[in-house]
Amino acid sequence: MPNEVETQAIVCRHSGIVSSERVAGDTSVDEDCESLPMADRTVRAAGGLITREGSEGAEILLVHRPRYDDWTLPKGKAKRGEPDEACALREVEEETSLVCDLGDEVAVTDYVVRGAPKRVRYFAMTPRPGSEAAPRNEVDAVRWVSAERAIELLSYERDRKIVARLAERSAP
């Protein structure tokens, strides 16, 4: 059942930074992004928890980013006015070459990057037939691994928690 109080996102036209307030109403665009207090600005992003059935069971796709030398789940910043679901599909394709079918939201993480709060929504995804994973753009490697191996490889605790929850739900 939808919550009667919705989140209104005030989006800076120049940076794509979002300030969220618990109010009733629609999304509005702020004319002057300087009017947003720094503490209230949130970078909006989305990504995918991409799974497939491998030869030894379920596998999850991880990406390696050389800029940070980290293993993570594919994700990226939303464009102004872009729905989170569209952002997730776009970012997954841009980073992994995969065209995927979108499933339900599986997790939301909040953290701080260079002093700015960031919120990432992750959606379950499965690759479409014939779609093959390959690194692109800021990603130099992709790897299909079991949930157990993903938990070992992932660089961030927030990502490990997402995969652990998926593994718990999938356990018999």
Reading the chain (172 residues) residue by residue, the pLDDT tens digits are 333 223 333 333 333 434 333 222 333 333 334 444 544 589 999 999 999 999 989 999 999 999 999 999 999 999 999 999 999 999 999 999 999 999 999 999 999 988 899 999 999 999 999 999 999 999 999 999 999 999 999 999 999 999 999 888 876 6
Q: What is the DSSP string of 20-50?
A: EEE-SS--EEES-GGGS-GGGEEEEEEEEEE
| pTM (predicted TM-score) | 0.76
Q: Residue 120: beta bridge partners?
A: 45, 109
CA-CA-CA-CA dihedral for 125, 112, 155, 79, to nearest 10: 30
Q: Residue 27 phi/psi, 5° resolution?
A: -70, 135
Secondary element (H or E) of residue 134: none
Domains along the chain?
A: 7-170 (3.90.79.10)
